[in-house]
Structure 1
Amino acid sequence: MLKRSLLAVAALCVGFQAFAEDIGIDVFAIPSKPIIDEVKATSDTLKAQGLESFYAQGKPVHVTLYLTRFPEGSKAAIKAAIAKLVAGKEGFAVEAKGFSVTKGNWAFLDVTPSPALQRLADEVTMALSPLRAPNPPLPGWVKAYPTKLAAFERYGSPNVFQDFEPHLTLLASETSPALAEVAKALAAKPPQAEGQIVGIGIGITDQWGQQKEILGEYFFKQ
């Protein structure tokens, strides 16, 4: 189920390239330094096999909370909604543990689900879904999953609420056979780190769901 859903996340990111009048925006959880350091260490392992992770390309380390398309003119409203949501909140524990590769060769550092992280994703979805573009492109795979289709039609993303599965994306649609060797090595010694979620970021995404422009970062109380 997890691998199937992670593959679905990958397909969703690619599907959000269309509709130039709207923009793909990812609202994401910002992890603390121990999590970022583990992403760096795993990225170094990949680099040693000739694989360049998103981290190595300078992309922010993030856990997607809500990814969909919004009208171009909605940026200010999105920022205001997130600023309001963050106000008064405190950071909470998060764990990164394990390395996953989908059938489409997307590579993830897995994030352990938790009630606090689930609640944050739910709150972001509820706050921002009224602002989303009304007719985002439907990824074809969603049609095969009635509950995900219903979520997509209601919230503009199939990866929300019960289908939220946190992760840190390292590679997308990798073609190198070296990835299988890295996955085998990391299965024997899985990456692991404990840290905190320290805030929420907003970014305009590229075709892989990675931030090409950060619109804002909002940090919890220390």
Structure 2
Amino acid sequence: MNGLQSRRRNTNRWHRLAVLVFGLVTASGQAAQTLDVYAIPSKPIVQLVSDTSKQLATYGMQSFYQQGRPVHITLYLTTFPDDSDAAIKQVVQQLSQQYQPVPLSAKGFTVTKGNWAFIDVARSRELQRLADKVTLALEPLRDPHPALPEWVKAYPGKLAAFERYGSPNVFQNFEPHLTLLAAEKNPQLATFQQLMQQQVPSANGEIIGLGIGVTDEWGQQRQVLAEYFFKP
């Protein structure tokens, strides 16, 4: 397995375990919720997800997009105390006022060992810096004692990131992507992956804003708390 596949596998585990492990009460004993602060892509990227989702549907698979979940790129996903919503919104709104649209390139299709399906996103300097800035701004508000997912212990770099920032997938571990499916059981996914290798999904667009969402067990937004758009 190459380095990219390994990182995708780890991303798969994090999305799946984040909510299941943290639950509604963190190790600190505080009532908490798992929130995802995410990048909002522009129409060309959303259209790519829509088109790929329609293709998936012909193979009997329903993407998160077709289930009504927002198209997004996770920047910082961790647990926060329940009473921190107002402060989080204020920070994210202030960050959004500092940005104009950021170039975004999506190209490629990845299926992990656990049958998560992604459209790959280029980790540009601009996108990396945005994710870093979001993490640094929100880290002081997070739950200081989140429960540690067992798998993180096997990866020293991710463990250090988790202990410091409450997420193993920040800074050098940031791997942007657009999630289509999670733990898919349909065997047609392998056939669809072969098709995507021949017809590589790709689009260029922009990040046009930041959002905050309460996540479900797959790291998808079951409730959007707020979205703030960059200056045009």
TM range (shorter): over 0.9
Kindly indicate whether the alpha-carbon contact (under 8 Å) linking 1:19 and 1:137 is maintained by their aligned counterparts in 2: no
Structure 2 gap segments, 5+ residues each: 25-30
- 1:143 matched to 2:153? The reply is yes
User: Contact 2:107–2:203 at 8 Å: present in 1 too?
Assistant: yes
Q: Is residue 11–residue 175 contact of structure 2 (8 Å, CA) maintained in 1? A: no
- TM-score, normalized by length of structure 1? 0.98
11, 14, 17: which one aligns with 2:16: 14
Question: 2:209 pairs with 199, 216, 220, which one?
Answer: 199
- Please tell me the residue identity of whatever aligns with 1:167: H
Pairing partner for 1:122 from 123, 126, 132: 132
1:63-98: CA deviations, max 9, x gaps? 000001111001001001111111131002101100
Aligned partner of 2:27 in structure 1 is none
CA-based RMSD of the aligned residues comes to 0.9
* Structure 2 length-normalised TM: 0.94
* Structure 1 contact 19–136 (Cα < 8 Å) conserved: no
Does structure 2 conserve the Cα–Cα contact (< 8 Å) formed by 1:27 and 1:66?
A: yes
Deviations 1:4-51 (A, max 9, x none): 222222211222223312101000000000000000011011100000
Aligned to 1:43: 53
Instruction: Please list, as runs of the form range in 1=range in 2, the aligned pairs for 1:130-169 lying within 5 A after superposition.
Output: 130-169=140-179
The one of 69, 75, 83 aligned to 1:73 = 83
Q: Report how far residue 136 of structure 1 moved.
A: 1.8
SS for the counterpart of 1:213 is strand
Q: Equivalent of 1:5, from 3, 7, 10?
A: 7
Matched letter for residue 130 of structure 2: L
- Report what 2:223 is aligned to: 213
Q: Whole-Å Cα distance in 2 between the matches of residues 85 and 163 of structure 1?
A: 22
| Counterpart-to-counterpart distance in 2, 1:72 and 1:157 | 18
Aligned match for 1:26, one of 25, 28, 36: 36
Counterparts of 1:35 and 1:154 in 2: how far apart (Å)? 32
- Alignment gaps of 5+ in structure 1: none
Percent identical residues: 55
Is contact 1:31–1:198 with CA below 8 Å preserved after alignment? yes
**Which aligned segments of 4 or more residues in structure 1 are displaced greater than 3 angstroms?**
none
- Aligned-partner Cα distance in 1 for 2:46–2:6: 25
SS in structure 2 at match of 1:110: strand
Classify the secondary structure of the residue corresponding to 2:53.
helix
SS of residue matched to 2:15: helix
Greater mean deviation of Cα atoms: 32-41 or 131-140:
131-140
User: Which amino acid counterpart does residue 155 of structure 2 have in structure 1?
Assistant: Y
Aligned-partner residue type, residue 19 of structure 1: G
The DSSP-based 3-state class of the residue aligned with 2:39 is strand
